[in-house]
């Protein structure tokens, strides 16, 4: 058995251990999204509005993906440790299938991204109109998002013009703040409300005029190169793992043939 063969086994085992940890991490993220109150409220809002039921399946997809990565990587570790041709064959087939599925999912998201944005925008606008100031948990979640993202409303600050708020034209979380938290305090309440009176205002000193959907889109675009790099890195790792498994499987076949000759 060559040194290169042993080195390939060690690399295959090491990389699969990394993927086992990744699978556990994805499952942990799914548990967090189910338990975290803010995430649950956002999910409930998306499910309820804009005919966006398909968004509720995203966590299920993550669970399946995490479980698949965990199981296939565990299979890969066992196949490399015991050098079992049957296990190696199963591992190569399953990893190839999941790689193709991931590429397909990436293409699907790229094709329907505008539709996804439209659903999110419609759902966010609907929930502001129907639940803001009426549902305490939803109101608190929206305020936190607006404070952290420095945005106002779904499309812009005029989303609040149809509501009768006790604080003025817009919530305090839409204003430039000098303190945030449960009781956000604007730098200048009067000026913030005066700026909110102008529905055509784009640049303001005391009011965040941009909508949260646009702000989130800018944030995603900002980190899109990192996300794409990670996705391509994972795909490259998977192709490399398939290559290593094929090499080990082939070398085992060659050794078996030599053994039969002798």
Per-residue model confidence as pLDDT tens digits over 113-162: 777 777 778 888 888 888 898 888 888 888 988 998 999 999 999 999 88
Share of the chain above pLDDT 90, in %: 21
Average pLDDT of every residue of the chain: 81
Under 8 Å between Cβ of 66 and 23 = yes
Q: What is residue 21's predicted lDDT score, i.e. its pLDDT?
A: 92
> Residue with structure tokens 């129907």?
130
- Cα–Cα distance, 81 to 13 (Å, whole number): 7
Better pLDDT: 253 or 246: 246
Q: Half-sphere exposure (CA, 13 Å, Cβ side) for 106? A: 15
Max distance between CA atoms of the chain, in angstroms, equals 93
């Amino acid at each position: 058995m060559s040194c290169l063969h042993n080195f390939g086994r060690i690399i295959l085992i090491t990389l699969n251990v990394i993927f086992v940890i990744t699978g556990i991490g994805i499952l942990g993220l799914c548990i967090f999204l189910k338990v975290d109150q803010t995430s649950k409220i956002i999910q409930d809002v998306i499910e309820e509005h804009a005919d966006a039921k398909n968004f509720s399946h995203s966590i299920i997809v993550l669970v399946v993906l995490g479980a698949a990565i965990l199981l296939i990587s565990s299979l890969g570790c066992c196949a490399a440790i015991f050098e079992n041709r049957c296990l190696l064959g199963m591992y190569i087939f399953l990893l190839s299938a999941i790689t193709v599925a991931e590429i397909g999912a990436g293409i699907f998201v790229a094709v329907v991204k505008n539709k996804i944005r439209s659903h999110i925008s419609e759902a966010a606008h609907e929930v502001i109109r129907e639940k803001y100031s009426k549902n305490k948990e939803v109101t608190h979640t929206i305020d936190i998002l607006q404070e952290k993202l420095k945005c106002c409303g779904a499309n812009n600050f005029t989303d609040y013009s149809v509501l009768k708020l006790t604080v003025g034209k817009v919530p305090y979380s839409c204003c430039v703040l000098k303190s945030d938290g449960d009781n956000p305090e604007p730098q200048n309440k009067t000026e913030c409300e005066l700026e909110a009176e102008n529905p055509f205002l784009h640049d303001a000193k005391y009011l965040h005029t941009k909508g949260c959907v646009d702000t989130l889109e800018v944030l995603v675009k900002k980190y899109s190169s990192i996300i794409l790099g990670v996705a391509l890195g994972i795909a490259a790792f998977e192709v490399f793992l398939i290559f290593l498994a094929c090499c080990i499987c082939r070398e085992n076949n060659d050794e078996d043939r030599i053994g039969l000759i002798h």
